[in-house]
Amino acid sequence: MKTFMPTYKSYDELAEIQLKGLQWTVNHAYNGSEVYRAKLDRAGVKPEDIKSLDDLRRLPFTTAKELAEGYPFPLLCVPMSDVVRIHASSGTTGKRKVLCYTQKDIDDWVHFFARCYEMADLTSEDRVQICVGYGVWTAGAGFQLGCERFGAMAVPAGPGNLEMQMEFLVDFRSTVMCCTASMGLLLAEEVQKRGLGDKLALKKMIYGSERSSDSMRARIKDGLGLTDMYDIPGMTELYGPGTGLECRAHDGMHYWADYYILEIVDPETLEPVPEGQVGEMVVTTLKKEAVPLIRYRTRDLTAIKPGPCACGRLIPRHDRILGRSDDMFIFRAVNVYPGQIDSVLSGLQGIGSEYQVVLERGADGKDSMLVRVERAAGGDPASDAQIQATVTEALKRKLLVTPAVEIADYASLPRSERKTRRVFDNRD
């Protein structure tokens, strides 16, 4: 079978590919976009100044604000006649970002998306039920075209509609499900409820676009009888989903370093953080034509995984997305990322995978934080007090602040097919 894996044979060779791509990108952006040219001129950098990968640090950052300000077609570096598609992202700040693609951009995206399916060890026998949004908000098109390029069978089911998803799973004998983790959990619970487990051929899930805890993934895996699950990263600004994938070793996500350079910087100082330390993802594209990104600040938090992967592949890795700087809230002068709460709860026994955080400001001006956690399925309410104490202690240790903890009945917290809202900040 055809391979979509990178062609370089060493990290030195990868660095050569990256330097060539960086030089091409800076030159292309400088000559293609007045906005980029003005930015680079202000920074005192000309395309010919990029002589090594270290020169990346001389380049100015690009922000989501700049994409929003250039509405409708920001940072465009090719003539409009070369644009074959647009996708948009609503963005957490509410301002819409529209990204243009040339045919080559689409081809590149499809190629590395096919690589995702190869990374997940699919074959042309697989049937891939794509249960994500289609249309201007990316996702679906990438999942589908990548699947077809790879050579598996796509079932373009679209999002939601649990009833139809169940029917397709049974009738078409889909072997792979692509969806959000929230949707995966809904499916798993429904399959259990209806006792459909032995009617499914489902083996794998590729899930993404939101945080998920270990216990949530375990519930999905058990509920659907999966052999494996793969976390998929991606954002509209950087083509869309599929810019990397977990491998079977599940120790971070391999990312496609032959298509973009990843830097991890301290969000405050913008200086690179040491390898392995959490910071903001900053990406620079190497081949993107319509809207190349130069040091684009993604607001996603992650860390580089140091050392080689157990799978033996020569493809660098980053950690799961550990939250967004936008999701961060400040409680009693401490920065709290919901991802930290996820990771604490997923390591504890006796509780379910769902939780809510409620922040209130009292009449005395003091802030309070309540973490509502579900009792595990079949758990005994008589143990609530003990579980509550354990959860409180574990959160206190990780977050360095002490929240109130409340144990709720199993399945009493809302689940949704799309991203589940978990933090309710009622202060001010």
**DSSP codes of every residue in 190-227:** HHHHHT-GGG----EEEEESS---HHHHHHHHHHHT-S
Q: How many residues bind Zn ion (CB under 5 A)?
A: 4
Compute the least distance from the CB of residue 255 to Zn ion, in Å: 11
Compute the least distance from the CB of residue 300 to Zn ion, in Å: 20
Judged by DSSP in three states, 242 sits in coil
Comparison of 254 and 372: residue with beta carbon closer to Zn ion: 254
Tokens of 87: 């996708």
| Under 8 Å between Cβ of 75 and 38 | no
Contact flag: residue 309 with Zn ion (CB under 5 A): yes
Contact flag: residue 311 with Zn ion (CB under 5 A): yes
Q: How many helices (H) and strands (E) does the chain have?
A: 10, 22
Compute the least distance from the CB of residue 241 to Zn ion, in Å: 19
Site string for Zn ion, 49-88 (x = CB under 5 A): ----------------------------------------
DSSP letter (8 states) at residue 105: H
Among 164, 218, 249, 404, which residue sits at the site for Zn ion (rule: CB under 5 A)? 249
Question: Alpha carbon of 165 to those of 125, 172, 403: distances in Å?
Answer: 20, 10, 39
**DSSP codes of every residue in 36-71:** HHHHHHHHT--GGG--SGGGGGGSPPB-HHHHHHTT
Comparison of 249 and 330: residue with beta carbon closer to Zn ion: 249
Compute the least distance from the CB of residue 251 to Zn ion, in Å: 7
Compute the least distance from the CB of residue 315 to Zn ion, in Å: 7
Among 122, 188, 247, 282, which residue sits at the site for Zn ion (rule: CB under 5 A)? 247
State CA 321 to chain mean position distance: 6
Contact flag: residue 119 with Zn ion (CB under 5 A): no
Which runs of E-coded beta strand occur in 106-259?
Answer: 127-130, 153-155, 176-180, 204-208, 228-232, 234-235, 240-241, 244-246, 253-255
Comparison of 121 and 210: residue with beta carbon closer to Zn ion: 121
What is the spatial distance between Cα 388 and Cα 404, in angstroms, rounded to a whole number? 9
Comparison of 127 and 254: residue with beta carbon closer to Zn ion: 254
Whose tokens are 């009833």? That residue is: 163
Compute the least distance from the CB of residue 124 to Zn ion, in Å: 22
Using the contact rule CB under 5 A, the part of the chain among 153-161, 223-231, 249-257, 260-268 near Zn ion is 249-257
Compute the least distance from the CB of residue 249 to Zn ion, in Å: 4
Residue type, 322: L
Comparison of 153 and 311: residue with beta carbon closer to Zn ion: 311
Using the contact rule CB under 5 A, the part of the chain among 89-97, 131-139, 241-249, 324-332 near Zn ion is 241-249
Compute the least distance from the CB of residue 228 to Zn ion, in Å: 13
Angle at 42 between CA 22 and CA 282, to 5 degrees: 40
Site string for Zn ion, 252-291 (x = CB under 5 A): ----------------------------------------
Using the contact rule CB under 5 A, the part of the chain among 2-10, 305-313, 335-343, 414-422 near Zn ion is 305-313
Judged by DSSP in three states, 94 sits in coil
Compute the least distance from the CB of residue 172 to Zn ion, in Å: 30
**How large is the C-alpha radius of gyration of the chain?**
22
Comparison of 307 and 378: residue with beta carbon closer to Zn ion: 307
Residue ranges that bind Zn ion, judged by CB under 5 A: 247, 249, 309, 311
